[in-house]
Amino acid sequence: MSQVSKSTQINSSSGSNQRGFHLPQLSLSKYAPLIALIILIVLSAMASEHFLIPRNITNVLRQVSYTGIIALGMTFVIIAGGIDLSVGSMIALIGVLVVMLLNYLGDGWTAVTLAIGASVVLGVIFGAINGLITVKGRVAAFIATLATMSVYRSLTLYISDAGEVVSRNTFYPEVGGGYWLSIPIPVWLFLGLAIIGHLILRHSAYGRHVCAVGSNAKVASYSAININRVYFLTFVIAGITVGIAAVMLSSRLNSVSPGDAGLFYELDVIAAVVIGGTSLSGGKGTIWGTVIGAIILGIINNMLNLLGVSPYLQGTVKGLVILIAVLMQFQKNRT
């Protein structure tokens, strides 16, 4: 951990030295998500006295962690130049399958452990299907995952007969509903996975290759990088994060409702990544940006609730925030 923070410090300090005269402008855009988050927190604290109550904060973080975990995987997909629209359907499908597996395995921690392992494996499989269609079939990621989004959702409904699937395992709810040091387990996982994600993206050869493929696939292939493998694996990574999020979500409620679970998650996930400063055209992005992007979205949702704004209007606000984030990115690219 300490090693990580040290090396990021080195990065940022050398980054500001070289930029010389146009330092203020560039560092502003680099830290824009963080600045936006701070402003949002201050505004929220002023607007509602309930906002800074610890219970509210942990609630926001828990809400955020489900989409946030998936957003970590999505960051890889988007940096490599792809997109995954199927994550919302995939979380429902994995959730249903895992709960059914649990009920088949019976009660006890062993069953829970097996189910968690199974959900990660399922994430790998469904992610790999997305990856194979895009890489081997040479289908644009947008189209490929639009198709699997429909397929995964439909399978979810078919398997569950469109009825809620309830777990009979008594230990399972403790996974997603539990706390450690009075912070919810999913939040810990979100944090831990963010650190792993950051290490992979910034400090591993694979992460470097993901950025290279997203920046310029031809240069990457002329640099002895197996671009198909790199691209394929981003979908697998996204699948793994969906698998983990599926456990968190289904265990928290101890049930999955196949029609609603994960509905429109792809929107929130992509929004978190984009708000965090990752370029939708690929090549550039950070994990910490995505974490902040997810938290920003969570706080906005929370504030709209606290302020009593009609839930029907929340989509409008979210849409506007996404638009602003993307517009800011374009401004950045233009200068």
Partner 1 sequence: MMSKPQTALLELRHIHKSFGAVQVLHDINVSLVAGEVLGILGENGAGKSTLLKIISGIYHASSGEVCVDGKVVSIKDASSAKALGIAMIPQEFNLIPSLNVFENIFLGNELKRHGWLDKRTMREKTQSLMALLETQLPSDAMIEDLSVAQKQMVEIAKALVNDARILIMDEPTTVLTAQEADVLFALVDKLKAKGVTVLFISHKLKEVKRLCDRLLIMRDGEVVALEKVSELDEHDMARLMVGRELSQVFPAKTVGGQELALNVSGLTVPNLLSDINLQVHCGEVLGIAGLMGSGRTETAEAIMGLRKRSQGQIEVFGEVVNIKSLQDAVEHKLAYLSEDRQGSGLIMNFDLSENITLISLNKYKKGLIQHQKTRERAEHYRKLFSIKTETVSTPLVNLSGGNQQKVYLSKWMDTEPKILILDEPTRGIDVNTKKEIYHFIRELTEQGIAVIVISSEMEEVIGLAHRVMVMREGKVQGELCGADINEQQIMYLAAGLREQQDSNNAQGKRA
**Binding-site ranges for partner 1 (CB under 8 A):** 7, 10-11, 14-15, 17-18, 20-22, 199, 203-205, 208, 211-212, 215-216, 218-226, 283-284
In sequence order, the 6+-apart residues with CB closer than 8 A to the CB of 262 are: 87, 88, 89, 90, 91, 92, 95, 249
| CB neighbourhood size of 221 (10 A) | 15
Nearer to partner 1 by C-beta: 210 or 271?
210
Helix axes 227-253, 87-105, angle to 10 degrees: 60
Cβ of residue 207: shortest distance to partner 1, in angstroms? Answer: 8
Cross-strand pairs, 165: 256
Between 154 and 223, CB nearer to partner 1: 223
Q: How far is the CB of 22 from partner 1 (least distance, A)?
A: 6
**In the complex, least distance from residue 12 CB atom to partner 1, rounded to whole angstroms:** 11
Which CB sits closer to partner 1, 59 or 215?
215
Complex with partner 1: residue 50 or 203, whichever CB lies closer: 203
Cβ of residue 196: shortest distance to partner 1, in angstroms? 12
Closer residue to partner 1, CB minimum distance, 50 or 284:
284
Q: What angle do CA 318, 323, 324 make, to 5 degrees?
A: 100
> Is the Cβ of residue 22 or residue 55 nearer to partner 1 in the bound state?
22
Cβ neighbours of residue 330 under 8 Å, at least 6 residues apart? none
Q: 187 or 237: whose CB is closer to partner 1?
A: 237
Q: What is the CA radius of gyration of the chain?
A: 20
For residue 16, what is the enclosing H or E element?
Answer: helix 2-19
CB of 240 to partner 1, least distance (A): 20
- Least separation in angstroms between residue 272's CB and partner 1 is 22
DSSP string for 59-88: HHHHHHHHHHHHHHHHHHHHHTT---TTHH
Q: Which of 240, 213, 238 is nearest to 228 (CA)?
A: 213
How do strand 179-180 and strand 255-256 relate by DSSP bridges?
Answer: unpaired
Min dist. Cβ of residue 315 to partner 1 (A): 34
Cβ within 8 Å of residue 204, ≥6 positions away: none
